[in-house]
């Protein structure tokens, strides 16, 4: 399971890297989330899960404020860091029977 998460996280980073420079500011709708906003949202949702399930793994991680401009490098660094923390949460879960606090039925479901 931790290896699967690592692959998933790496693919998201590859996807971010493949977005053309002007593509990060693109949105489907005038008031919709931009591509950069969506990557920031992924990071922030990870933090939400960490806060609920393993606050100790949030050390050094900060929320990316929505609708503020974030560079590709800042997004990549945030996703890499939150991805590593989620990986640690998954590993911890696997070592304790597959349970993650607040997640039903279990992390491997």
Residue pLDDT, tens place only, 7-50? 999 999 999 999 998 999 999 999 899 999 999 999 999 999 99
Query: Cis link prior to 49 (omega < 30° from 0)?
Result: no
Closest listed residue to residue 80, CA positions, set 92, 98, 64: 64
* Residue 104: predicted pLDDT: 61
- Confidence at residue 1, expressed as pLDDT on a 0 to 100 scale: 64
- Has residue 109 got a pLDDT over 60? no
Structure tokens at 63: 């929320």
Give me the phi and psi of 43, to 5 degrees please: -60, -45
Handedness of CA 48, 79, 100, 45 (dihedral sign): positive
| pLDDT tens profile 81-100 | 999 999 999 998 877 776 66
């Amino acid at each position: 399971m931790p290896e699967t998460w690592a692959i998933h996280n790496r693919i998201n980073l590859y996807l971010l890297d493949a977005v053309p420079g002007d593509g990060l500011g693109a949105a489907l709708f005038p008031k919709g989330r931009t591509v950069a906003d969506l990557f920031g949202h992924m990071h922030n949702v990870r933090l939400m899960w960490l806060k609920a399930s393993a606050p100790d793994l949030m050390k050094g991680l900060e929320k990316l404020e929505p609708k503020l401009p974030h560079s590709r490098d800042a997004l990549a660094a945030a996703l890499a860091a939150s991805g590593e923390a989620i990986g640690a949460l998954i590993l911890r879960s696997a070592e304790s029977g597959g349970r993650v606090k607040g997640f039903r039925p279990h992390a491997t479901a």
